[in-house]
């Protein structure tokens, strides 16, 4: 029977989502998660591939605004819900979904598409480049001490209900977004993702708890959401603190929150799974080695409208460079572009017939876009070629940022 790809009807959502669960291994999402995903799905941006009544393929996009170097919030398609039925794999279903989706994103006028990959090897062929990392830590708090900055003792900590404190915590998050390339401005409804706490998903740990950091004037300057996982062995208590999120607007609130998490009775390990690679915590701990930092790939970026994307961010130093871009999947980006940017943030990107300085594919531009992966390091791997001496260093400096890009939550 023929396959038909079409935009999702709201009434088809349950069948569509059941298919996704099957594609991901058949484990059912808890009811709280299902309700949330239903509410967050934008049906007109969700695609299904159908064989009769059976859904065999899916892909969707959320309408995000992504923080980029310089602090602009760029309309971005956040790609998710990608799955192909186990019975229909390796016949090009994903390829046809990606084709349609990127055409739709282009038509919607969004310069960027982003995703996190279940398997990092999948999306390079569609022009996505790895642009940010995420760091996990497992800290032995019996050995690792914190050296806190002045002002930490003035911060007042208060335990708060995660639901009741949500609005105040969201204000802190909103204050951080434009400082952090790769962070999405939270669209209405997405704040629920952080506090939805299905009992079956806690893995033996406590319900979600929240500690709020207040300045002397009572203003909330930070918060952490965490769980405690108690454990006992022959020597006594062996509990772990699992940090879900910690956001703070200043160094004192940052240090006060970590100090609190390090000192919870009956726990001797702090685990944090999703931290930026330049987390200030690395400079607060007495022993990085015993904090066991580990990185993994996080956000993959695809320039859909190359000139609009390159003009939307700012650059760390002045640059005037001609790039020869290969982009077989979105050929409208292919060819030679001149990027001229001042250090004050103004950038122009136009087609040119001038000789190229650098040669690369759209994937490398996606990787370098958020400022965390340098063109120089990509060149060292043979993925960027310098055609005119000196231009690689100039362009690499301009693209690089002084804050590591970071995606604080999944989608």
Ligand X SMILES: CC(=O)SCCNC(=O)CCNC(=O)[C@H](O)C(C)(C)COP(=O)(O)OP(=O)(O)OC[C@H]1O[C@@H](n2cnc3c(N)ncnc32)[C@H](O)[C@@H]1OP(=O)(O)O
* Total residues in contact with ligand X, by rule CB under 6 A: 22
Catalytic residue among 81, 123, 226, 260: 123
Rg of the chain, C-alpha, whole Å: 23
Q: Which of residues 17-76 bind ligand X (CB under 6 A)?
A: 23-24
Residue 68 or 79: the one with the smaller Cβ distance to ligand X is 79
209 binds ligand X (CB under 6 A): no
121 binds ligand X (CB under 6 A): yes
How far apart CA 339 and CA 343 sit, in angstroms, is 13
How far apart CA 384 and CA 339 sit, in angstroms, is 16
Q: How far is the CB of 115 from ligand X (least distance, A)?
A: 4
How far apart CA 44 and CA 46 sit, in angstroms, is 6
Residue 115 or 183: the one with the smaller Cβ distance to ligand X is 115
Question: Which range binds ligand X by CB under 6 A, 112-120, 204-212, 246-254, 355-363?
Answer: 112-120
How far apart CA 102 and CA 312 sit, in angstroms, is 19
The verdict on whether 123 is a catalytic residue reads yes
For 263, the token pair is: 């000192």
CA-to-CA dists, residue 411 to 37, 39, 191, 217, 270, angstroms? 10, 13, 11, 35, 25
> What distance lies between CA 38 and its chain's CA centroid?
21
Residue from 2, 53, 119, 344 that binds ligand X (CB under 6 A)? 119
Q: How far is the CB of 133 from ligand X (least distance, A)?
A: 17
Question: Which range binds ligand X by CB under 6 A, 120-128, 268-276, 329-337, 342-350?
Answer: 120-128
Question: Which range binds ligand X by CB under 6 A, 81-89, 149-157, 158-166, 235-243?
Answer: 81-89
87 binds ligand X (CB under 6 A): no
The verdict on whether 411 is a catalytic residue reads yes
- Tell me if 129 sits within 8 A of 304, measured CB to CB: no
Element containing residue 274 per DSSP (H, E): strand 267-275
26 Rama sector, left if φ>0, alpha if ψ -120 to 50, beta otherwise: left
Q: How far is the CB of 60 from ligand X (least distance, A)?
A: 8
80 binds ligand X (CB under 6 A): yes
Which of 197, 199, 200 lies closest to 208 in space, CA to CA? Answer: 197
Please report, in range form, the residues annotated as the binding site.
82-84, 90-95
Active site residues: 123, 411
Residues within the interface to ligand X (CB under 6 A): 23-24, 79-84, 89-95, 115, 117-119, 121-122, 125
């Amino acid at each position: 029977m023929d396959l038909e790809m079409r935009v999702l009807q709201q009434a088809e959502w349950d069948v569509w989502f059941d298919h996704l669960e099957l594609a991901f291994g058949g484990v059912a999402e808890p009811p709280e998660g299902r309700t949330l995903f239903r509410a967050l799905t934008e049906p007109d941006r969700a695609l299904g591939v159908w064989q009769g009544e059976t859904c065999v393929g899916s892909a969707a996009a959320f309408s995000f605004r992504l923080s980029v170097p310089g602090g602009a919030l760029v309309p971005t398609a956040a790609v998710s819900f990608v799955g192909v039925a186990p019975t229909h794999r390796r016949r090009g279903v994903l390829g046809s979904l990606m084709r349609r989706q990127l055409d739709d994103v282009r038509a919607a006028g969004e310069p960027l598409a982003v995703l996190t990959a279940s398997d990092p090897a999948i999306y390079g062929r569609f022009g996505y480049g790895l642009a940010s990392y995420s760091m996990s830590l497992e800290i032995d708090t019996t050995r690792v001490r914190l050296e806190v900055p002045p002002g930490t003792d003035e911060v007042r900590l208060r335990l708060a209900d995660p639901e009741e404190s949500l609005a105040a915590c969201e204000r802190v998050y909103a204050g951080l977004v434009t400082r952090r390339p790769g962070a999405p401005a939270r669209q209405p409804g997405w704040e629920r993702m952080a506090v939805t706490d299905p009992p079956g998903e806690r893995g033996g740990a406590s319900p979600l708890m929240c500690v709020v950091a207040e300045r002397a004037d009572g203003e909330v300057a930070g918060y952490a959401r965490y769980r405690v996982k108690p454990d006992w062995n022959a020597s006594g208590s062996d509990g772990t603190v699992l940090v879900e999120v910690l956001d703070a607007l200043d160094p004192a609130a940052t240090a006060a929150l970590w100090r609190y998490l390090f000192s919870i009775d009956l726990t001797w390990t702090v685990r944090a799974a999703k931290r930026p690679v330049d987390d200030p915590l690395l400079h607060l701990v007495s022993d990085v080695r015993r904090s066991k930092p580990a990185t993994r790939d996080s956000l993959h970026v695809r320039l859909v409208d190359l000139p609009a994307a390159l003009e939307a961010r700012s650059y760390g130093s002045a640059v005037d460079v001609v790039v020869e871009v290969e982009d077989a999947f979105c050929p409208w980006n292919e060819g030679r572009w001149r990027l001229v940017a001042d250090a004050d943030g103004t950038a122009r990107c136009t087609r040119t017939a001038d000789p190229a300085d650098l040669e690369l594919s759209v994937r490398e531009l996606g990787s370098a876009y958020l400022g965390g992966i340098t063109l120089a390091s990509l060149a060292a791997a043979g993925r960027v070629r310098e055609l005119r001496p000196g231009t690689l260093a100039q362009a690499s400096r301009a693209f690089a940022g002084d804050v590591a890009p970071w995606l604080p939550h999944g989608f």
